[in-house]
Amino acid sequence: MLNKNYRDEEKERIDEQLRSIMEMGHIPEEWEEIRLNLDRKLKEALSIGLNEIKNLPEEKLMEILANLDLEFSHYEALGDILLKSIELEAEDKQADLAQKTLLIYKTAQEVSRTFSFSLTQKINEARSWIND
């Protein structure tokens, strides 16, 4: 029982953190400052920041996220945050971040086990950053 209560509290904490990150916005003129704040908030929520997400090999990133026992909504929210961040990153880093975003969205799709038209659209948008 204690373990379930702890897991519920942890999931709620992650929900709140990811929601607050989504509300931050992504303004090009203020990207460096926003990026630092985004990195800090991601570390608070998931113990992994934007720099680690960008620099880790895909397998290691997914291993870390899997160990957090995230729900579908957490994966999707993380994907949404990264998708908004792609265009603000340096051009040479955009495809790599898009690839990781795509992987996170695909994981969300697997975890949910249901078809989501909006998730499919997000997957296609992430793919468009890779194929450009």
Whether the CA torsion 73, 75, 76, 80 is positive or negative: it is positive
Phi and psi torsions of 19, nearest 5° = -60, -45
Average pLDDT over residues 63-72: 93
44-56 pLDDT, tens digit each: 999 999 999 999 9
Expressed as residue numbers, the domain containing 116 is 2-131
Q: What is the pLDDT of residue 12?
A: 86
For 87, other C-beta atoms within 10 Å of its C-beta total 14
What is the full DSSP assignment across 5-57? Answer: HHHHHHHHHHHHHHHHHHHH---GGGHHHHHHHHHHHHHHHHS--HHHHHHS-
Domain total for the chain? 1
The one-letter amino acid code at 9 reads E
Average pLDDT over residues 83-103: 93
17-39 pLDDT, tens digit each: 888 887 776 667 787 888 888 89
